[in-house]
Structure 1
């Protein structure tokens, strides 16, 4: 998955700093819906990672039922400096 493609698809721009709050929230809502309905684990993790980078991801313990996927998300959150305790 290409970051610019994802940003353009969900936010209609690659420049998130140009969005007003309402446009940003609409993009986050679309991204969250895609995450919630995605079935393929790799794509689902990529969508969660983008939500995480935006500070909008659900906690890994809620987002991932599979223990390996949950562990990967917890590790990602920890090494990115934004774990669920932040």
Structure 2
């Protein structure tokens, strides 16, 4: 999954600064629906990660069925926290 492609898919643009609040809400809702329907683990993780970046991700125990995926998500969360600290 390409980040810019996902932004265009869910928000109609790859420029985050142009996304209207209602478009953001609608796109996030669509991502949540797609996450719930997605069976491929990699695609689920990518959708969850994008939702996480928008502060809209479901809890790990809801989003992921197995420990490996939950641990990968925790690692992602830790990396994002460290990146924010570096700024």
Alignment TM class, shorter chain as reference:
0.7 to 0.9
User: Is the CA contact (8 Å cut-off) linking 1:16 and 1:24 kept in structure 2?
Assistant: no
Aligned twin of 2:71: 71
Q: For 1:28 and 1:48, locate their aligned partners in 2 and report how far apart those are by CA, in whole Å.
A: 11
* Number of residue pairs the alignment of both structures matches: 82
Which structure 2 residue ranges, 5 or more long, are not aligned? 83-87
**Which runs of structure 2 are paired with 1:50-61 in the superposition (5 Å)?**
50-61=50-61
Greater shift, 42-51 or 13-22, is seen at 13-22
**Structure (1 or 2) with the greater helix fraction:** 2
Deviation at residue 43 of structure 1 after TM alignment: 0.7
1:4 aligns with 2:15: no
Q: For 1:68 and 1:24, locate their aligned partners in 2 and report how far apart those are by CA, in whole Å.
A: 30
1:21 aligns with 2:39: no
After the TM superposition, which parts of structure 1 deviate over 6 Å for at least 4 consecutive aligned residues?
A: none
* TM-score normalized with structure 1 length: 0.87
Q: For 1:72 and 1:32, locate their aligned partners in 2 and report how far apart those are by CA, in whole Å.
A: 19
What RMSD in Å do the two structures reach over aligned CA positions? Answer: 1.3
Q: For 2:16 and 2:25, locate their aligned partners in 1 and report how far apart those are by CA, in whole Å.
A: 11
Greater shift, 55-64 or 5-14, is seen at 55-64
